[in-house]
Structures are given as C-alpha cells and as structure tokens.
Chains A and B, each alone.
Chain A
Amino acid sequence: MLQQIEGSRAIAETVARCRPEVVCAYPISPQTHIIEAIGAMVKDGRLTPCEFINVESEFAAMSVSIGASAAGARAYTATASQGLLFMIEAVYNAAGLGLPIVMTLANRAIGAPINIWNDHSDAMAVRDAGWIQLFAETNQEAADLHVQAFRLAEELSVPVMVCMDGFILTHAVEGVDLMDQELVDRFLPPYEPRQVLDPDDPVSIGAMVGPEAFEEVRYLAHLRQLDALELIPTVAAEFAALTGRASGGLVHPYRLEDAETVVIAMGSVLGTIKDAVDARRDAGERVGVLGITSFRPFPIAAVAEALREARRVVVIEKSFSLGMGGVLATDVAMSAPWLGQRLVTVVAGLGGRPITRRGIEDVIERARRDDLAPLTFLDLDEGVIARERARMSASRRSGPFAENVLRDLGTATEARR
C-alpha cells in the first residue's frame, strides 16, 4: 500500500514483514529510527515471535546476530559509520562463517573529525569483508532491497548489507509502496539453514584452518559472491514479476543509448544525476547514467557491457581512498580497462555536503571539454586549503586544522586571534 512514510520507518515495517527472529539494537545516527520502530513492534506484539535485544555495542550486535544465525534464527541488525567500524571484526566473521545475516547500513561519514552526515566511507571500509553490498537509490528501493536481501542471503549463505544514504534517505518522508505480509511471505520462504547448532546433530562451527586449506576456503567464499552475480538479477526479476517494481539487480542503466558521456554513481545521488542528465539531454548532449546497485559482488561484466560505447566516464563517488583516489572508480577502471585516461573520478558529497543538479551539470560540461583532472574534488575550497597549509608551514603548533578551517570559513563565530 502506497503511503507517505519516513525512510527508516519504511525499512522497519518491511523488515518486520520479513519475520526476523532475532533483532539486535544499538543506537547510532542515522539508523536509530529503524531499530526503535522494530523494537516497538516487538514490544507491542505486532512482530512475534522475535527476540529484540538491546546490546551494549555494535560489536555485540553483530556477535549476537552471529550466534542467533548459527543457531538457525533469521537475524537482522542495523548500523552506520563508527558503529560499522566497531563491529568490523564480527562483520568479517559473519561472512567467513557463511551466516545469512541482513544488516541495514545507513551510510554516514567516518571521523575524525566526527561527522554524522552522509557519505559512503563506512561501506567502502568493509567492501572486502565478504558481504553482499547493495545500494538503494530511493526509499522504495531500500525497502524492496531488504526483502530481496533475506532471499539472497539465505539462498547463498552470505550476509547482505543494504546500504541507504543516511538522512537523505533514512530521514526523508516520501511515498513508499509497502509490501503486505502475504506478498512478502510469497517471496521469502522460512529460513532453512545450511548448517545449524543442534544437539540432535552436533557440528563444530568455526574451526581453525591452516595454510593447507585456507586459500581454498577463501576461494569458495569468492565463488559464492560470483554466484550472487547470477542470483541477484534473478531475484530482482522475480521480485519485479511479483510487485511490478524494478528494484535491485546489478546495475541501473538510464538513458545510456548512444551516450558518449556516462556518469556512474551509487545511492540516492542518482536521482539528482538523472535530473542533470535529463537537462543535458534536453540540450542535445549524449549523456547517460549507470547506477551501481550491487557494489559487492561488483558486476564487472555488466559494467563493461554498459560502457562499451562510452567515450568518457565520470565516476561520482562519496568516498575515496586517502593517498590513492576513487574506490568505485578503481573497480570501474578494472571493468573497462580500455577507457584509460577517459575515466575520471569526482569525489563529492563528503560528510553530507550537498551535491546539486547544477554541480553535476557543471561536471558533465567539464567532462565534455576534457577539463576534469583524473581525480577531482567537487566544490573544493582551494583558498581554505592554501591558507591552512600556509599556517601549518608557518608554525609547528598551528592548531587543530578542522577548527582552523571552520574559523577561516567564518562558520566558527569566535574572533580569530
């Protein structure tokens, strides 16, 4: 039923209809509304049977999920940013043990400096953990991806992380068509574990593996990711047949036909990019968009196919690897090696900085003029950077640079000394 609803609330309602049996909660913005709402549903009896556990840390949230999943329960939790980093050891462990836990990641920047707003640094930090990572473009897609996530996770015995932009999606109220219980039940059968802790059939799970077999074990985990490349589109197609919605899949191509310039991105910024591309198309330019829905596994073949005719590619990403550059762009470059210097990275939207349609149109225009550096930072205030570097070279104790930058910008009101 279509309704105006906050993104977090839509996720909570959808997850509840997936009948999770153990849900762990630990607060961190901007995911908190999700677990608050699920907690209320468990407490008032709407979601039953379900154990809702208020844990003492994100590390415990993922660890309780590991225990619950290994014992055969459908387990769910949500986190963001520092919380994801705090649980990272257990994040890797869940994947290594092949436990189909589903987790919402309300994407948020990582400190220091502490910043609660959106970017993709948190998701990138665990890209190698062995989780499937799906990025939602809208709240509708975010909700739909959760239903698909449980299917994928349980069929493959691989945990799935549904990434949705913090605040931009989690706190936005917009129309979402929530699946009713009967529809979800038709799509998502009860969890049938591949391996389970059971006194009637004792197994040892989590044994030590030495050099003689570790590579094979890891390779098998890689193969499960490759299996996911096959299954993700199948599940999305089945979902589309059931709901009529094109949510999920590996990539979302948009106006790619005859496109000379292709803009690639993940998450909610795709909406803005599509608006910009529509405007450029109206002006007669051959521009298209490739949204990446499945970041892990990375759809190398689908990306390569989509970029076969492209003359230039602009990867707009909300994170970067310090000392190197684009993370998503590196994967795109590997998928389409023939692009060479015709692929540029634009880092944008860090720590919640708005990415505007005007800004993207400007990027597209500069790309067309071959005027973008291979690694470009959108809206970077070069003056602030130059002045801070001057201060740092003038004095050994030039002060905290985050504070200096804020003073320089006039954001901090205290008079400069």
Chain B
Amino acid sequence: MTEPTATRVHFYQVGSFAVGNRLLSADDRTVQSNPARTNSIDSGHRACQGCGEALGARYALDAAMRATNDRLVAVNATGCLEVFSTPYPETSWRIPWLHSLFGNAPAVATGVAAAMRVKGRDDVRVVGQAGDGGTVDIGFGTLSGMFERNDDVLFICYDNEGYMNTGVQRSAATPPAARTATTDVVGPEPGNVFGQGKDLPRIAMAHDIPYVATATVADLHDLERKVEHAMEMRGARYLHVLVPCPLGWGSASSDTVRLARLATESGLFPVFEAEHGVVTGARRIRRRVAVEEYLRPQRRFAHLFSGAGRPDVVARLQAMADANIERYGLAPDEGE
C-alpha cells in the first residue's frame, strides 16, 4: 500500500477510496453527516483517545435510531462501552439503555423484546451490544440461545480482540501470537497460541438466523448500511464489528481507522454479510497488503519483528489471511 502524501491527496481522496459526503446523493449520505442525527452516545464520555468501540457504537446506534424512527432500546453487557459511557450519575446515552451483567446481554435483550411484544409495542426495537469477551466467551451461551429462538434482537459485537477493560487479557477472539497480559511475550512461543479461536460470525451463520454481517470502523458507511439493513428485518441478527483498541493493541490513537482498514485489506478480517446461513456478499480487497503491514504498527506483535524476528509466525498469520481471502472470495478484482 502506498501511503498518501500531501501532494497527491485531493480534497476528497484520502488514500482509502473513501468519498466525501458532498459527492453523494442526499439519500446515500451517512447518518453521521446529518447534523440532526440523534447522538445516541453523546460526547463527554470517558473512552480512550482513538477508541474504535466508541466510534463503532456511535455510528451503529445512530444508524439504528434512524432506521427505527427513534424507537430503540439498547442493552449493554459489562465492558469498556458500559464503563466509559455511564459512570454514575453521568450518562452518555440519549436512548433508553440497560446494563445488567457481563454474560447476559443477549438474554436481557430477549426479555426487553418480549416485553415490547406482549405490550403491543412492536415498533420498539432492541439492540444488544457487547465487546468480544461479552460475546464470544462469557455471553456465548445466552447469545446462542437468543439466536436459536430467533428472538427479535440485533446483537452487535464490538470486537477489539481482548479483555481491554480489565487490562488487556486474552479472549477467544484474540489473534494468534498477539501479546496480552495473559499471553505474555515470554518463552519459546511468545504471545497467544495458534488455535481455532472462535469465529463468531460463522457460528452465528450456523444458527441460520436471518442476518449476519461483519464490518469495521474503517468503512463506517458500510457499517451504517448494514445496521439499517438489519433493522429492516425481524428475528435474530448479528453484526460483528472490528474496533481497534490503541491501548490493547499498542497502536497510535491516530491509527485506529488505518489499522481497521489494513485488517481488511490484508484479509485477516473478512468483511461480508450472510442471510439465513448463506453468504450473500463480501467486500473485495481493493489493494491487497501483506499481513506484516497490518502487524508492524501494533506493539502486541512487536516480538515478531524484533531481532531476527519470527518470519515463521508471520507466515502462519499470512496463511490465515490467505485462507480468508480464498473462503470469501476477497481477492482484488483484476480490473481495479
């Protein structure tokens, strides 16, 4: 990937194929570009600088609000998003919001949806949200139950690949070789193990629920579109959003969006959508990059590049990216 330089950047070209809203038709502009948007999560919260989760949640919820004509309730698992948004007596939420526990947000969301249905308030829709720990690990049982019953809930996982709120510990969504506080860079195989991990979008698809999609904070327009599409449907829907974490990943706060883009452009994080268990679309890579380009700016992978480095480990990560590209047909279009 060639870095944009000051001389080559035109006013709407930022090296990412992003296009300024002013060039889009009014209906195709982002929710965020509208000054009358809801601000579901208001400013003043305590997220870290460059927090991908705050960015993702803001776009996702404002899009959900627009899609439901502001008839929305959000249920939150314990985690960064909960902690930074609601230290008593302050709250960033301008929508009805409920936090119960770490591992039960999908079930609580089911309860809210059931209450709305029984009260004849079918217009009120429910979004559940959690980080990757609250989704793939401790909330996995309740999430699978919610999927299996096809409850009318959109569940959004903001995946920053670890337990960041508690000080960067490993989750089942932590990538191999990554340094966390519980997968230290010591011993012959530093960092997280190479294992199956939990590929939750695919597990969600195995439930044959109406809609499963992935997205990143590098393509917020795509994220908004997927949220709005999800809210047009009823039943269990799942959205898995990659949200880089400067604290946990050891990356610059200004690199959050760039890293999310590199995760997709390397193939490590496939962006796709599926309906009723069948993939219906995947976002092709525009300019393919080696995984190394994604890994190097992150201190959690620094041990792979210090001294003689670990080209063998990088090669295994590259193989994972290659497998994703193969599985979802992500290879760049030759015509590009």
Contact = CB atoms under 8 A, between A and B. Distances in A.
Contacts of B116: 71
- Dominant secondary structure of chain B at its interface with chain A: mixed
A202 B115 contact: no
Given A60-B107, A67-B113, A89-B103, 12 more contacts: A51-B114, A51-B118, A55-B145, A56-B142, A63-B142, A66-B104, A71-B116, A90-B104, A93-B100, A199-B96, A204-B99, A206-B100
Contacts of A64: 107-108, 110-111, 114
A188 interface: no
Contacts of B82: 206, 208
A56 B97 CA distance: 24
Interface in A41-88: 49-51, 53-57, 59-60, 63-73, 75
Interface of A: 21-22, 49-51, 53-57, 59-60, 63-73, 75, 89-90, 93, 97, 197-199, 201-210, 213
Contacts of B149: 53-54
B271 interface: no
Interface of B: 70-73, 75-76, 82-83, 86-89, 91, 93-101, 103-104, 107-120, 124, 141-142, 144-145, 148-149
A87 to B, nearest CB: 9
Contact of B87 (A49, A89, A93, A208): A208
Given A64-B111, A71-B115, A90 B101 contact: yes
Contacts of B88: 207-210, 213
A308 to B, nearest CB: 44
B100 A97 contact: yes
B99 A71 contact: no
A68 B111 contact: yes
A56 B207 CA distance: 14
Contacts of A55: 107, 110, 145
A198 B148 CA distance: 27
Contacts of A49: 118, 120
A197 B93 CA distance: 12
B319 to A, nearest CB: 36
A60 B141 contact: yes
Contact of B111 (A56, A66, A210): A66
A21 B76 CA distance: 23
Nearest to B99: A206
Contacts of B104: 59-60, 63, 66, 89-90
23 contacts: A51-B115, A56-B145, A56-B148, A59-B103, A60-B104, A60-B107, A60-B145, A64-B110, A64-B111, A67-B75, A67-B115, A71-B111, A71-B112, A72-B119, A73-B114, A90-B101, A97-B100, A199-B73, A199-B95, A204-B86, A204-B93, A205-B98, A206-B76
A90 B99 CA distance: 12
Can you list the 4 inter-chain pairs with the closest CB atoms, starting with the nearest? A67-B111, A206-B99, A56-B145, A71-B115
A206 B111 contact: no
A148 B9 CA distance: 72
A70 B98 contact: yes
A65 to B, nearest CB: 6
A261 to B, nearest CB: 47
Interface-central residue, A51, A71, A208, by most chain B CB under 10 Å: A71
Contacts of B107: 55, 59-60, 63-64, 67
Contacts of A205: 97-99
